[in-house]
Every structure is written in structure tokens, then in C-alpha cells.
Amino acid sequence: MTITFYITDDPVNKIQKTLTGGVSVSGVLREATSEDNPVIKAVEGANLSATDKAKLRACNYAYIAELGKYYFVDNKFLRNNKLIDIPMNIDTLMTFASDILNQTCLIQRSEVYSSPYINDSERPAYNFPMVLTKNFSGSYEGFHMYLTVASSQPLSP
């Protein structure tokens, strides 16, 4: 299986991470491992340059092409200058980044924007009565109905 190791300095909760220093190697999964938290049993790096080997040792992120998922590299265990037993945890945000970013959602709370249609206990609400009187042109006789509209914005004359 092909594993590409990267280095990232982005926070864990960032959806699209900036990946640098990609080194692709072939590896073998441990016999009993999960797809979300796999453990790579061994990584073949015999034909890598010294620069790529240094990148591989410094990596903290990985992508497994066969599984189509991104992973955080928790730890690396070295034996005889070869990487053996690399436990990883899935990065759900990066793995499903396109699905997350293509969602159309109604956000309940935001730092900047708020919706007047969503009840938010953190958003202050004010009640300022406003009375407007409009004169009607012409004469009105008989029974009439009037429409009253309540709005947060004053009506333009």
C-alpha cells in the first residue's frame, strides 16, 4: 500500500491543512488494525534519498491512497534505521473536507453574523415602541380595515 507522509503545522481543527515535504513509500498494515486508527507495521525506505529519509522521520501527517484518508501520525518507532510500527489517527476534517465545505447549512451561532430568525440567548433583543401616523389622501367613508406592520426598520415615507 502507498503511504505519503507529510509535515503540517496547522491546528487540528483546521479543515484544509497545508501539507509540505511529501514522501511516498510503500508500507504494510498490521494484521489486526482499524481503518480509522491504523498501525503501519513496516515502511520500506531503502531506495529513499537522505533528504527524503529526514522528511520521513520528521513527518506528523500521512495519506493512505488505498483507503483515501488522511491521518495524524502519533508516534514513530525506529529499529535498524527503518520505521516500524507507526500508529495513526484519522483526520476526519481533512478526509471529508470537500463534503464539509459543500454543505449548505443554517448556522445557529457565529462570531460575526447572526440571524434574526434564530432564537439566540446570547444575542441582545431590544423593544423600542415606534408610533407612526400617516395621512391618507382622499376621503374615506364607510367601514375600512387598516394593516399594521411591525418591523425593526422604520418605514420610509
What are the pLDDT digits (tens) for 103-146? Answer: 887 766 666 676 667 777 776 666 666 666 666 676 667 666 66
**Within 13 Å of residue 101, how many CA atoms lie on the same side as its CB?**
9
Residue 97 has phi, psi (to 5 degrees) of -60, -45
The pLDDT of residue 81 is 61
The pLDDT of residue 151 is 58
Spans of the chain, pLDDT less than 70:
42, 44-46, 78-83, 107-112, 114-116, 123-136, 138-140, 142-157
The pLDDT of residue 51 is 83
The pLDDT of residue 144 is 65
The pLDDT of residue 10 is 93
The pLDDT of residue 152 is 56
Residue 100 has phi, psi (to 5 degrees) of -65, -45
CA-to-CA separations, 77 to 15, 29, 72, 127, in angstroms, rounded: 28, 15, 15, 64
The pLDDT of residue 27 is 80
Helix (H) or strand (E) holding 72: strand 69-73
User: What gap in Å lies between CA 38 and CA 85, rounded to an integer?
Assistant: 10
